[in-house]
Amino acid sequence: MIVPNLVSTIIPVYNRPQMLREAVQSVLDQTWPSVEVLIADDGSTDDETPRVGEELERTHPGVVKFLRKENSGPGPTRELGRQHARGEFIQYLDSDDLLRPRKFELMVNALREHPECGAAYGFICVHPLNSPPPEKPYKGSGLVRETLFPWLLADRWWNTDCPLFRRSVCDEIGPWSDLRWSQDWEYDGRVAALGTKLVHVADWVCDERHHTTGRQTDTADWLQPERIRHRKRFMEMMLGHAERGGVDEFTPQRQHFTRFVFTTARHAAAGGLVQEAKELLELAERAAGNCREVKKGFLPYRVLSNMVGWRFVGWLFRHWEKFRRPGSGFTLRESFAQDLQRERSR
């Protein structure tokens, strides 16, 4: 049974007891009166995290619910919470991040004023743990956009904690995938494929805190075979979402995505994953569609690889990339990279 006005917040957690307390408290501190918190423990290996989850459930009966499962990654963990959610609205919140107190009030009211919209978003604040926050909204959260596509193909321009969804949108999207990496980007791709309209709230709504205690991206070596295979699957899914969403192959964002796939094909070849490299090249050709300009070099690369070996050519191009200027050709500068460069220049 769906409870009108209720905002269900789903918090996946793994070995983060103190940060979990703070994340839950940021929901309990909301000025919006009708909330529930669903803590989904992804098989934490410490004793403290489940103890804190159970304590929070006892302390806030009827508001906080603690759920546990075997470790399977962020996607299935969020899905466990979604299956228990009763609210008219759905909020996803990572256990190391925080919501600003007026987030639900601002966003529910915005969605009430714009019934044609399925999600609301606002300013993201990203800063190192215990450091002063910046004044500029992170990524593209300060920009007013009516939909996620086509921009999402080139850049995940918001974070998981940023949007508030109508439950109807999440129900239409369906279950979270079991991707270990980029599962949130893929989820957004399904939102985009639906053509979901967005409403922007020009205010700070969430804090993402950078830290060094067990972040999934701490060792993000994307040349590892396991990660390349996951990225290949992610790209296959995203291209399908873009095709269903009607993103034209001539848009700069799809051209960026096409070159991104081609780059990953070369990385796969350099790592000895020849079959994956061939399939990724085919995917890049499909993403290019009728845009001849963006697929320049695809055929020569294939011919050369067949002649002298896929792994050697992949290795050769991998080293060539080190001398290329970022953002050249058909690639675009992602907003997080721009923000990181700006922080380093201070």
Nearest in space to 200 (alpha carbons), one of 248, 240, 144: 144
Which pLDDT value is given to residue 318? 75
Q: What is the enclosing helix (H) or strand (E) of 234?
A: helix 225-244
Residue 20 to residue 7: CA distance in whole angstroms: 18
Which pLDDT value is given to residue 327? 45
Q: Could you tell me which residues come within 8 angstroms of residue 154 by beta carbon, excluding any fewer than 6 positions away?
A: 252, 253, 256, 257, 332, 334
**Mean pLDDT in the chain?**
90
Tens-place pLDDT, residues 141-178: 999 999 999 999 999 999 999 999 999 999 999 999 99
Which pLDDT value is given to residue 341? 46
Taking the CA atoms of 216, 126, 104 and 36 in sequence, report the sign of the dihedral they define. positive
Query: Tokens 């993103």 map to which residue?
Result: 247
pTM: 0.90
Phi-psi region of 327 (alpha: psi -120 to 50; beta: other; left: phi over 0): left
Residue 145 to residue 147: CA distance in whole angstroms: 6
Query: Tokens 């619910």 map to which residue?
Result: 65
- Between β-strands 87-92 and 35-42, what pairing exists: parallel, antiparallel or unpaired? unpaired
Is 217 a residue whose pLDDT tops 90? no
Return the axis-axis angle of helices 274-288 and 252-270, rounded to nearest 10°. Answer: 170
Which pLDDT value is given to residue 166? 98
- The answer to which of 4-13, 261-270, 309-318 has the lowest mean pLDDT is 309-318
pLDDT-derived band at 212 (thresholds 50, 70, 90) equals low
Q: Are 14 and 49 in contact (CB under 8 A)?
A: yes
Beta bridge partners of residue 209, listed in sequence order: 127
Domains and CATH numbers, the chain: 3-210 (3.90.550.10), 225-344 (no CATH)
Nearest in space to 88 (alpha carbons), one of 24, 34, 158: 34
What's the burial of 121, exposed, middle or buried (CB within 10 Å: 0-12/13-18/19+)?
buried
Is 328 a residue whose pLDDT tops 70? no
Is 291 a residue whose pLDDT tops 90? yes
Which pLDDT value is given to residue 220? 55
Mean pLDDT on 247-251: 96
Q: What tokens were used for 66?
A: 């603690």
Better-predicted residue by pLDDT, 225 or 17: 17
Q: Are 201 and 111 in contact (CB under 8 A)?
A: no
Q: What is the enclosing helix (H) or strand (E) of 192?
A: helix 183-193
pLDDT-derived band at 316 (thresholds 50, 70, 90) equals confident
